[in-house]
C-alpha cells in the first residue's frame, strides 16, 4: 500500500475534481475498500464505477470481468501477509506465519470467503503456499504428511477459522437475544442451552471466532502433526 506509485494527476480537462487515470490497481484498490466498508455483497460493477466517478463500462478496460476483479482482490489480500521468519522449529515458523496471515485477514473480513470461492490461486497466493509448504518440508515432514497438513489446516492456513454460522450478525452478539434463546431451548435442546448459557468468553454464543479459539485449534493441529511426523 505504502509503496503504491503516487502518480501526479494530469488534468486533461478543466474539471475541478482531480481524477487520476483509471488503472487496474486503482480499480482493485477501490473494490477492496468498498468491500472493507460495506461487505462483498455491496460490491457491484455499477457501484464501483460510481465511486470511481467513471462509467461502469470503463472498468472493463482494466479488468476482464467481475470474476477477474474478485481474483485480483483475493490475491492482493494475500499479498499483504507479512513475510515468514526464516529460523526456528517448523511448528514455530508455521505458527507465526499463520498468525501473520490471520492479522491480514482480520483487516479484510471478506477475503477468506472470497479466496474459498476462487477456482485457482493467484501469484501472491501461490507464493504464500510455496512458503508454507517449504516450512513443512524443510522441517523434515514427508511429502504425504505435508499434503495431509494442508488439507487438515484448510482455511486456517490463511489465518481464518471458517465457522459454521456467521456470529458477526447483530442478533448473534446481543446478550438479550442469547439469553432468550438459551431459555427457550432449555427443554428441547438441553445441551445447546447449557453451552449457550455457560460459555461466554466474549459475551455469549457470538464473537467466538477469536484469538483464543483460533490458537487453541492451531496448536492442537500442529501438535498432532508433529506427533505423527516424529512417529514416522
Partner DNA sequence: ACCTGAACACCGTTCAAGT
- Chain residues that interact with its own copies, rule: CB under 8 A: 115-121, 126-127, 129-130, 133-134, 137, 143-144, 146-148, 151-152, 154-155, 157-158, 161-166, 169, 171-172, 185, 188-192, 194-195, 198-199, 208-209, 213, 216-217, 220-221, 223-225, 228
CB of 63 to DNA, least distance (A): 8
Select from its own copies, DNA, none the partner in contact with residue 148, using the beta carbon and a kind-dependent cut-off of 5 to 8 Å: its own copies
Closer CB to its own copies, residue 107 or residue 147?
A: 147
Report the candidate in 85, 100, 128, 93 with the shortest Cα–Cα distance to residue 226: 93
Q: How far is the CB of 49 from DNA (least distance, A)?
A: 7
Binding interface with DNA (CB under 7 A): 21-22, 43-47, 54-58, 60-62, 65-67
Helix (H) or strand (E) holding 13: none
Give least dist CB 34 to DNA, A. Answer: 11
Please list the alpha-helical segments (H only) found in 39-89: 45-51, 66-79
- Nearest distance, CB of residue 41 and DNA, angstroms: 10
End-to-end distance of the chain based on CA atoms, in angstroms? 44
**Nearest in space to 196 (alpha carbons), one of 183, 182, 208:** 182
Q: Which is nearer to DNA, 59 or 178 (CB)?
A: 59
**Residue whose C-alpha is closest to residue 157's, from 169, 166, 149, 165:** 149
Task: Report the largest interatomic distance among the alpha carbons of the chain, rounded to a whole angstrom.
Answer: 72
> Closer CB to its own copies, residue 51 or residue 143?
143
Q: What is the DSSP letter of 71?
A: H
Instruction: Give the one entry of its own copies, DNA, none that residue 36 binds, where binding means its C-beta sits below a cut-off of 5 to 8 angstroms depending on kind.
Output: none
54 binds, among DNA, its own copies, none (CB under 5 to 8 A by kind): DNA
| Nearer of residues 14 and 198 to DNA, judged by Cβ | 14
Question: Closest approach of Cβ 111 to DNA, in Å?
Answer: 18
The CA-based angle 193-198-201, given to 5 degrees, is 125
Nearer to its own copies, 117 or 183 (CB): 117
- Smallest distance from DNA to CB 57, Å: 4
Residue nearer to DNA on the CB measure, 74 or 225: 74
Distance CA(149)–CA(225), nearest Å, equals 7
Long-range contacts of 149-156, Cβ-Cβ distance < 8 Å, separation of 24 or more: 149/225, 152/221, 152/225, 153/98, 153/221, 155/112, 155/115, 155/116, 156/98, 156/214, 156/217, 156/218, 156/221
Residue 94's binding partner, choosing from its own copies, DNA, none, with beta-carbon cut-off 5 to 8 A by kind? none
Amino acid at each position: 500500500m505504502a509503496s503504491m506509485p503516487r502518480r501526479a494527476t494530469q488534468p486533461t480537462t478543466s474539471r475541478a475534481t482531480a481524477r487520476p487515470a483509471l488503472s487496474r490497481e486503482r480499480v482493485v484498490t477501490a473494490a477492496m475498500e468498498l468491500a472493507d466498508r460495506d461487505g462483498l455483497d455491496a460490491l457491484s460493477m455499477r457501484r464501483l464505477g460510481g465511486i470511481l466517478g467513471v462509467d461502469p463500462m470503463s472498468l472493463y478496460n482494466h479488468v476482464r470481468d467481475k470474476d477477474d476483479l474478485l481474483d485480483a482482490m483475493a490475491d492482493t489480500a494475500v499479498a499483504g501477509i507479512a513475510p515468514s521468519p526464516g529460523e526456528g522449529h517448523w511448528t514455530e515458523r508455521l505458527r507465526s506465519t499463520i498468525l501473520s496471515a490471520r492479522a491480514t485477514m482480520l483487516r479484510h473480513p471478506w477475503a477468506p470467503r472470497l479466496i474459498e470461492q476462487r477456482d485457482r490461486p493467484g501469484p501472491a497466493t501461490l507464493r504464500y503456499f510455496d512458503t508454507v509448504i517449504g516450512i513443512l518440508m524443510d522441517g523434515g515432514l514427508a511429502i504425504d504428511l505435508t499434503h495431509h497438513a494442508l488439507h487438515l489446516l484448510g482455511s486456517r492456513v490463511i489465518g481464518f477459522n471458517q465457522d459454521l454460522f456467521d456470529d458477526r450478525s447483530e442478533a448473534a452478539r446481543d446478550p438479550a437475544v442469547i439469553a432468550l434463546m438459551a431459555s427457550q431451548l432449555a427443554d428441547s435442546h438441553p445441551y445447546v442451552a447449557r453451552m449457550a448459557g455457560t460459555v461466554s468468553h466474549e459475551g455469549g454464543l457470538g464473537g467466538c471466532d477469536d484469538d483464543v479459539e483460533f490458537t487453541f485449534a492451531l496448536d492442537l493441529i500442529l501438535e498432532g502433526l508433529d506427533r505423527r511426523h516424529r512417529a514416522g
